[in-house]
Amino acid sequence: MFAIDHYYEAGTLEEAFALKEAHPGARWIAGGSDLLIQIREGKLAGAELIGIRDIPGLSGVTLDKQENIHIGPLSTFSQVAEDPVIRERIPMLGRAVDQAGGPQLRNVGTIGGNICNGITSADSASSLFALEAELVLSRIGASGFISSEEKEIGAFYLGPGKVDIAPDQMLTDIIIRRKKYEGFFGHYTKYSMRNAMDIATLGCAVYCRFSDDLAVIEDVRIAYGVANPTPCRCPGAEKAVAGMKAGEEAFRKLGELALEEISPRDSWRASRRFRLQIAEEIAYRGGMACLEEAKAAKGGVKPAQGAPGRPGEGAPARKTGESFGDGRHWLLRLTVNGKAVEVPVDNRESLADMLRNRLGLTSVKKGCDVGECGACTVLVDGKSIDSCIYLARWAEGRHVLTTEGLRGLDNELTPVQQAFIDEAAIQCGFCTPGLIMTATELVESGRTYSREELRKLISGHICRCTGYQNILNAVEKVVGQKQ
């Protein structure tokens, strides 16, 4: 169980602020992909939490009448990456958040949490700086009505892990103004030691607007993560390059001048010297990528939107359960493997613990217990999640599927399971149930994927027996087929 002192859940914004007033030391929790790990590691042991993940109106992407983009802070990375407004108008942001963690994390982690953590390596931060995003912070005023203020994202970050938000405030909207994105082309580069499940050694977002003939850089913005204690822009470099002829010389200069405005540190991930070398090169490459994307758009070629994602969000949870005992327990009602289940849970309990210990579904393995290995993967409303960092309480009213639920009427294997056997994708079997669930999600989506796309979509799993080629062969064998 998580070392949580007490868990409260809000169904509306008003309820959330009322709970915060009653419990001022409590912390908001939505996706929990970072907060629950900090609790697991003892850094925030004993915390009180206020769950806000199901508050209406705080997730999803919308356009207002002025075509400003509004991103709900409770939107998951997957929602943002797959949203048609994001893909059409600011694809750079979608591609950036699609590099956070692994697929299971992206299905629960929220863009608002990514911002409010104040971490300079956050994959959304550099792109949001380049987009000059505005943040709406809300609180309950003295009159009892919710009041809001807008803050530019550049003024929001105060230091490592520190942001300018009061304890009684909540991030309720992220705004990208039309004038900040219209006519621009952008590219985000994440340099890390691994292709997935790793934080950025350095991140860089370049955003450019060109003249109609693409000969001149009319405007350019460049933003870095992990280059300073907070995400940052390089206004001097931007000003010097704006108006230059679009091409290699200009973007080489952008990278060179940017080095005068950043100060990366030495760490076990990379030395300062190495980060500076990377910073110069990926600024140049990012600028050239913007130019190539602009040329493709001018030629009528639709810019690449990134790899196809997973199935969309499921229906919101139905609040049918009830508290009992000392208020620390909940009578959870949900569907597990096609059957309606009513089970008492502790509010501190993970979904993995509930499935294993209370329902005896031992295919759900506990490996790292911090959402990195994928052994505990199950499907919740058709989406893969790491059940070790997902509170059981959050499964209220939802449909949960584990490997035990894949058996046919005569206990026959599914095509996915058979493919793992046929392709020798199994050795010790510890990671296999989680991989089977991810593969099942991909097959059920009905989509087709390239081998490289599949490689990314199973990247939230670690296997130390087979190597990954046989696993990839098994998934590729059945993807696009409906079971």
Tokens for 50, please give them. Answer: 């206020």
Spatial neighbors of 113 by CB under 8 A, at least 6 apart, are 30, 31, 33, 34, 35, 73
- For the chain, what is the largest distance between any 2 Cα atoms, rounded to a whole number of angstroms? 70
Beta bridge partners of 49: 7, 27
Comparing 65-79, 375-389, 449-463, 468-482, the range with the smallest average pLDDT is 468-482
Q: Which CATH architecture has domain 1-56?
A: 2-Layer Sandwich (3.30)
pLDDT at 322: 66
Confidence of residue 300 (pLDDT cuts 50, 70, 90): confident
Q: What is the DSSP string of 80-133?
A: HHH-HHHHHH-HHHHHHHTTSS-HHHHTT-BHHHHHHTT-TT-TTHHHHHHTT-
pLDDT of the residue at 217: 98
CA separation, residue 12 to residues 48, 58, 205, 317, 322 (Å)? 18, 10, 35, 13, 17
How does residue 140 score in pLDDT terms, banded at 50, 70 and 90? confident
Handedness of CA 53, 57, 58, 61 (dihedral sign): positive
CA angle 22, 12, 52 (to 5 degrees): 75
Structure confidence at residue 301 (pLDDT): 65
pLDDT(312) > 70: no
Q: SS3 of 174, please? A: strand
One-letter amino acid identity for 232?
A: C
Query: DSSP state, 364?
Result: S
Q: Are strands 47-51 and 4-9 parallel, antiparallel or unpaired?
A: parallel
Phi first, then psi, for residue 332 (nearest 5°) are: -90, 130
Residue 370 — pLDDT band, cuts 50, 70, 90?
Answer: very high
Residue 99 predicted with pLDDT over 80: yes
Of 80, 16, 102, 21, the residue nearest 52 (C-alpha): 16
Is 303 in a helix, a strand, or coil? coil
Under DSSP, is residue 474 helix (H, G, I), strand (E, B) or coil?
A: helix
Q: What is the rounded CA–CA span in Å between residue 442 and residue 310?
A: 7
The model's pTM is 0.92
Contact status, residue 454 vs residue 475, Cβ threshold 8 Å: yes
Rounded CA-CA distance 309/45 in Å is: 35
Q: Residue 419 is encoded by which pair of tokens?
A: 């493919």
**Taking the CB of residue 215, how many other CB atoms lie within 10 A of it?**
10
DSSP H stretches of helix in 98-243:
103-106, 111-116, 125-130, 153-156, 178-181, 235-241
Rg of the chain in Å (alpha carbons): 23
Domain ranges of the chain: 1-56, 61-298, 407-478
Overall CATH class of domain 407-478 = mainly alpha
Average of pLDDT values for 350-372? 96
pLDDT tens track for 152-192: 999 999 999 999 999 999 999 999 999 999 999 999 999 99
CB 417 within 8 A of CB 406: yes
CA 25 – CA 3 distance, rounded (Å): 16
111-128 tens-digit pLDDT: 999 999 999 999 999 999
Separation CA 405–CA 383 (nearest Å)? 15
Task: Find the mean pLDDT for residues 446-464.
Answer: 92
Backbone angles phi and psi of 44, in degrees to 5: -125, 30
129 versus 479: the higher-pLDDT residue is: 129
pLDDT at position 197 is: 84
pLDDT, tens only, 235-281: 999 999 999 999 999 999 999 999 999 999 999 989 999 999 999 99
Asked if pLDDT for residue 309 goes beyond 90, the answer is no
How confident is the model at residue 314, as a pLDDT? Answer: 42
Cα separations in angstroms, 121 against 103, 104, 282: 18, 19, 15
pLDDT at 315: 41
Q: Are 176 and 133 in contact (CB under 8 A)?
A: yes
Q: How far, in Å, CA of 65 to CA of 280, rounded?
A: 39
Smallest CA-to-CA distance from 103 within 453, 352, 480 is with 453
Decide: 279 and 264 in contact? Cβ < 8 Å: yes
The whole-number pLDDT of residue 321 equals 60
Whether residue 50 has pLDDT greater than 90: yes
C-alpha distance across the termini of the chain, in Å: 35
Q: Do 38 and 44 meet the contact criterion of CB atoms below 8 Å apart?
A: yes
When the pLDDT of each residue in the chain is averaged and rounded to a whole number, the result is 92
CA atoms of 368 and 352, how far apart (whole Å): 12
Residue 327 clears pLDDT 90, i.e. is over it:
no
For residue 312, how many other CB atoms are within 10 A of its CB?
13
- Is the per-residue pLDDT at 284 higher than 50? yes
Contacts 24+ apart (CB under 8 A), 61-65: 61/85, 61/86
Cβ–Cβ contacts within 10 Å for residue 154, how many?
Answer: 15
3-class secondary structure per residue, 420-460: HHHCCCCCCCCCHHHHHHHHHHHHHCCCCCCHHHHHHHCCC
pLDDT of residue 311: 44
**CATH homologous superfamily, domain 61-298:** CO dehydrogenase flavoprotein, C-terminal domain (3.30.390.50)
Please write the tens of the pLDDT for every residue from 456-468.
999 999 988 878 8
What is the C-alpha to C-alpha distance for residues 233 and 133, in angstroms, rounded to an integer?
13
